[in-house]
Structure 1
Amino acid sequence: MSKTCQILGTRAGVGNSVSHSHRKTRRTFAPNLQSKRYWVPSLQRHVTLTVSARGIKTIDRIGIEAALARIQRNQELN
């Protein structure tokens, strides 16, 4: 599974783990990625996406068709 949300582009963040004595060591904050399967009526098939929890809410709000259009637009830019 890739470490990036396909809808929002969310990646792992970096920061410090801070102990009780305030020693700081570097750590990563991983996004909450899920592998989710959606039915796409226009394609008449299922599509599996790797999305964050917030990405799932975005797909629920804008719809799977608009979300796939957003993914294609982002891939053309890269």
Structure 2
Amino acid sequence: MSAVCQVTGSGPGFGKQVSHSGMRTSRRWGVNVQSRRYWVPSMGRWVRLTVSAKGIKTIDKQGIDAVVARLAARGERF
């Protein structure tokens, strides 16, 4: 499972970790992505999406039908 949200498109952030001595080493900040199943009434089936916490809130606000229609228009598989 890749760490990219299918709804918002947000991925991991990259940067440097700075120690007390000032040494800089690379690190990455992961996205809170989860694999969720949603029932889509218009399609009559379950859809499994990899969504972040913000993506879940977007689905709650706009509705799963609108989000799935936008994903299908983009050509993404779900």
Tell me the distance in 2 between the aligned counterparts of 1:14 and 1:67. 28
TM-score by length of 1: 0.88
Aligned residues: 76
Q: Which runs of 4+ in 1 moved over 3 A?
A: none
- Residue 16 of structure 1 deviates from its aligned partner by 0.7
Deviation at 1:33, TM superposition (A): 0.4
The unaligned stretches of length 5 or more in structure 2 are: none
| 1:53 aligned residue | 53
Shift in Å, 1:44? 1.1
Residue in structure 1 matched with residue 9 of structure 2 by the alignment: 9
The sequence identity of aligned pairs, in percent, is 54
Q: Report the equivalent of 2:74.
A: 74
- TM-score of the pair, normalised by structure 2: 0.88
SS at match of 1:36: strand
